[in-house]
Amino acid sequence: MSRVLHAYSAILPLLALAACGGGEKPAATDSASSSGPQATSGATTGTAAVSGAQIAVAHAGPPGEWQMPAGDYASSRYSQLASITPQNAANLKVAWAFSTGVLRGHEGQPLVVGNTMYVVTPYPNVSYAIDLAQTGQPLKWKFRPQNDQQAIGRACCDVVNRGAAYADGKIFYNLLDGHTVAIDATTGNQVWRTKMGDLSRGETITMAPIVVKGKVIVGSSGGEMGVRGWIAALDAATGKEVWRAYNIGPDRDVKVGPRFKTFYAHDRGKDLGATSWPGDTWKTGGGAVWGWLSYDPALNLIYHGTSNPGPWNENQRTGDNKWTASILARDADTGEIVWALQVTPHDMWDYDAVNENILVDLPIKGQTRKVLVHFDRNGFAYTVDRATGEILLAEPFVPMNWSTGIDLSTGRPKVVETKKTAQDKNVKDICPSLEGGKNQQPAAFSPQTGLFYVPTNNLCMDFQARAVTYIAGTPFIGGNAPEKGGPGGYRGEFIAWDATTGKKIWGIKEPYPVWGGALATAGGVVFYGTLDGWFKAVDARSGKVLWQFKVGSGVVGNPVTYTGPDGKQYVAIYAGIGGDMGLLIAGDVAANLPFDVRERGTTLPDIAKWTSWGGELFVFSL
Amino acid sequence: MRHRIGGLTLILIAAGVAAACRNNAGASADTSTVGRSASSTSSTSPEQSAESHLLVAGDSLRLIEHPENLPAGFPLQIKPLPIKNPYEGDKAAIASGAQLFVGYNCLDCHGADGSGAMGPSFQDGRWHFGGSPGDVFESIYQGRPDGMPAWGGRISNEQIWMLTAYVRSLSSKDLSTENFSGKTVERTGH
């Protein structure tokens, strides 16, 4: 497949209006006003654009469809649909809604292929094919997989599923109990089912696969269970495993070969995935692949992040702990590792690096650079050369205090001594918290503005590490990390980010962490949902909120847009609070369980006042 | 308050099964008591308990096979026979249970002080699989279908009883009404 650049993105060489001047000060010095939960605080508006920016890979399928988790291999979450504009967005209305029949956190997004929408639920991972061409949206089929119930208690952070991928007439997705399934998109029949994860060792699967050249690429969760992280490829036709690469351990298992070339000298050497750990500790060292995948067809490279090292207690694993908390580039055919960038060496704050890598071509210092842009849990936004792994730029995108910046000569963060965690110490007020400046909620990119639209968290934590014993199938954590709101009196912000300069252009402060993803559209409207259940349309240039609707439950899912059989543009979003933020942190939001009533958490003490559980798809149109 | 693991817990784990009790002097006597209770628990399923009640009532096997023959007014026994925890309310055993709760990684599933995390809360006095000492022992011993591992045979029955005593001691904070004015707890995320 050849790399196709969007023609339209070149047609819009927008003036770079006050690229920096209009933006806010860096987040760390923000003086945000406190906003109550009922307030949807106004945007600090700035107007800016980066001209000449392009998405690296074309949208998958026709512009009116959504065939991949992020719409394209580049993870841009950008759609060329342009009927909904800043001028008419105020007229958006609910077109229809659909209960998924499942509570718990609805991360992920539906797919739209032809006139069919595909929805995958959290555990038990039921999938639905919804006929968009008929009034009332009847089901074409419903698939209820065999899915081991034990998985519920082995998943660290709610029983979420981040969606399916479509290719070759099949829907591919992962089951919480460690299986990958292929379903005939027309009939709903299971074509194959392959066990990929070992539940008895705490391997569950929550991530959304992508399909690359006839291979389904998957990875597992379990960074909190002492798994040994891997990524694997299955034959899309047969379900047979084609390759599997571990992220930690000896070179042979990690698939380090002659092509492996890291940009920074200290990241070169033999068997670093084992020797940067004491003894055999790498065998239970985490480094799971539970986040989003990207693919550059021109370089034939898959980009993925790896999770935190295990356990959280850093005393039990001195060294860099490669390749946890890293961004890895692997050959799509073989899994061979081509470059690696460990963004948080020897992580001691639970800063997974699994967030999406958005593949774009950006004008940087007068040159067009082929980059990936990555908003890490650790609070830095990285602009990285995607052929080599060189960091071109890394700036904080949220309030932070654990590091004073990235040393661009080594690629390593400069760590603040007093924010280092240690066994039997209670280190106070570390920002961002372990939920990160951003977590699984994926950002979007618009070539029209050249800006990234990023849902963020503003939380801090105290961190108490303690010794922990590995017991297979139980958490391997060794730490408590109670969280609280970050500086400024808000707990989340939806921001527009210029990755060529590393600056925030505008931001919409939210009372709660923005745990749902973003969607950018050619109509100049950006969409996102909030934890307290508001679904919003925002002007991509100014950050002005154009429209909002209170959906049935808090939003932790990602909007998609498609063209209906009637030719109209629709926007779809899951409601359904949950995930790590909605389930574990919010606590008593789980009021549907009569045998599990919890005290409210201090982090989000009144989120349950605004929303409760419920899995529902909402679809909007003009 | 949060539990901190001390050197003691690690020693407890390292020492493994038998030496877990701090009162080693009484260990043999304790063990025999605990052993009896435990074996009667593990070999008595709820079905068997129900059956034994019917036997008391007389002619039960036939009644079970032919439920339509149940005489009118026959009391249907739904509660299992009460099983006593030898450590129920024993402060020292509860303290040991608290340490085991950390040492066996129960804390990271069920939350600090059992406030709820991946697994359910123990503070609310509400129980998915029953809250009697026997029920809680069984949950720990056999595991439960939605992810609770089975600890029977992996740790001693004495330790399971201590965990049972500790877990039951946590239940004091039921909140049937939430009006957003009550207290909050520090939660740890993953």
Domains recognised in chain B with CATH numbers? 30-44+83-169 (1.10.760.10)
Distance in angstroms (rounded) separating the CA atoms of residues A480 and A426 = 9
The answer to whether B182 contacts A477, with C-beta atoms less than 8 Å apart, is no
The predicted pLDDT at position A164 comes to 98
Structure tokens at B66: 């032919």
Which chain B residues contact residue A606 at CB under 8 A? 180
The predicted pLDDT at position B9 comes to 41
pLDDT of A355 above 70: yes
Query: Which DSSP helix (H) or strand (E) runs through A118?
Result: strand A116-120
**Option in A149, A466, A599 nearest B184 (CB):** A599
pLDDT of B37 above 70: no
Mean pLDDT taken over chain B: 71
Which chain B residues contact residue A532 at CB under 8 A? none
Domains recognised in chain A with CATH numbers? 7-445+453-621 (2.140.10.10)
**Option in A467, A581, A587 nearest B5 (CB):** A467
Which chain A residues contact residue B177 at CB under 8 A? none
Count Cβ atoms below 10 Å from residue A597 Cβ, excluding itself. Answer: 22
pLDDT of A302 above 90: yes
* Beta carbons within 8 Å of A472's beta carbon, 6+ residues apart: A200, A201, A202, A226
Is residue A350 annotated as part of the catalytic site, yes or no? yes
Choose the catalytic residue: A147, A161, A308, A439.
A308
pLDDT of B35 above 50: no
Chain A's closest residue to B126, CA to CA, is A595
Distance in angstroms (rounded) separating the CA atoms of residues B165 and B177 = 27
The answer to whether B186 contacts A581, with C-beta atoms less than 8 Å apart, is no
Distance in angstroms (rounded) separating the CA atoms of residues A293 and A73 = 8
Measured in residues, chain A has a length of 622
Choose the catalytic residue: A296, A350, A390, A532.
A350
Q: What is the pLDDT of residues A454-474, one digit of tens each?
A: 999 999 999 999 999 999 999
In Å, how far from its chain's centre is CA A251?
Answer: 28
Q: Is the peptide bond before A138 cis (omega within 30 degrees of 0)?
A: no
Which chain A residues contact residue B187 at CB under 8 A? 482-483, 584-585, 587, 601-603
Count Cβ atoms below 10 Å from residue A592 Cβ, excluding itself. Answer: 11
Distance in angstroms (rounded) separating the CA atoms of residues B137 and B157 = 9
The predicted pLDDT at position B159 comes to 98
Q: How confident is the model at residue A282 (pLDDT cuts 50, 70, 90)?
A: very high
The answer to whether B118 contacts A481, with C-beta atoms less than 8 Å apart, is no
Structure tokens at A199: 């539940």
Residue A381 phi/psi, 5-degree rounding, is -100, 120
Chain B's closest residue to A123, CA to CA, is B146
Please say whether the beta carbons of A403 and A417 come within 8 A.
no
In 3D space, the residue among A125, A220, A151, A146 whose CA is nearest the CA of residue A473 turns out to be A151
Q: What is the pLDDT of residues A236-257, one digit of tens each?
A: 999 999 999 999 999 999 999 9
Please say whether the beta carbons of A572 and A87 come within 8 A.
no
Please say whether the beta carbons of B81 and B75 come within 8 A.
no
Distance in angstroms (rounded) separating the CA atoms of residues A281 and A296 = 33
ipTM of the complex: 0.88
Which chain B residues contact residue A153 at CB under 8 A? 109, 118-119, 144, 146-148
Q: Which stretches of B88-154 are assigned E, i.e. beta strand?
A: none
Q: How confident is the model at residue B65 (pLDDT cuts 50, 70, 90)?
A: low
Chain B's closest residue to A159, CA to CA, is B118
CA distance B182 to chain A (A): 9
Report if pTM > 0.80: yes
Three state DSSP letters for A24-43: CCCHHHCCCCCCCCCCCCCE
The answer to whether A608 contacts B180, with C-beta atoms less than 8 Å apart, is yes
Please say whether the beta carbons of A302 and A390 come within 8 A.
no
The answer to whether B175 contacts A588, with C-beta atoms less than 8 Å apart, is yes
The string of DSSP codes covering A463-488 is: EEE------TTS----EE-BEEE-TT
**Option in A150, A224, A350 nearest B145 (CB):** A150
CA distance B96 to chain A (A): 17
pLDDT of A18 above 90: no
Give how far Cα B52 sits from Cα of B48, B56, B60, Å.
6, 6, 8
**Option in A151, A152, A475 nearest B108 (CB):** A475
H-type helices in A567-608, by residue range? 579
Q: What is the pLDDT of residues B146-174, one digit of tens each?
A: 999 999 999 999 999 999 999 999 987 77
Which chain A residues contact residue B136 at CB under 8 A? none
Q: How confident is the model at residue A26 (pLDDT cuts 50, 70, 90)?
A: very low
The predicted pLDDT at position A586 comes to 65
The string of DSSP codes covering A366-424 is: TEEEEEEEEE-TTSEEEEEETTT--EEEEEESS---SEEEEETTTTEEEE-GGG---BT
The predicted pLDDT at position A471 comes to 97
Distance in angstroms (rounded) separating the CA atoms of residues A475 and B111 = 11
* One-letter amino acid for residue A299 of the chain: L
Q: What is the pLDDT of residues B80-113, one digit of tens each?
A: 678 999 999 999 999 999 999 999 999 999 988 8
Test mutation, A440, A464, A597, chain B, max B CBs within 10 A: A597
Mean pLDDT across A494-506: 98
Mean pLDDT across A278-293: 98
The answer to whether A599 contacts B186, with C-beta atoms less than 8 Å apart, is no
Share of chain A above pLDDT 70, in %: 91
Chain B's closest residue to A223, CA to CA, is B190
Q: Provide the β-strand partners of residue A593.
A: none
Distance in angstroms (rounded) separating the CA atoms of residues A59 and A72 = 5
Q: How confident is the model at residue B40 (pLDDT cuts 50, 70, 90)?
A: very low
Q: Is A102 left (phi over 0), alpha (psi -120 to 50) or beta?
A: beta
The predicted pLDDT at position A12 comes to 36
* One-letter amino acid for residue B49 of the chain: S
Burial class (CB in 10 A: 0-12, 13-18, 19+), A549: middle
Q: What is the pLDDT of residues A32-80, one digit of tens each?
A: 333 333 334 444 545 568 899 999 999 999 999 999 999 999 999 999 9
CA distance A588 to chain B (A): 9
Mean pLDDT across A572-593: 77
The predicted pLDDT at position A526 comes to 98
Mean pLDDT taken over chain A: 92
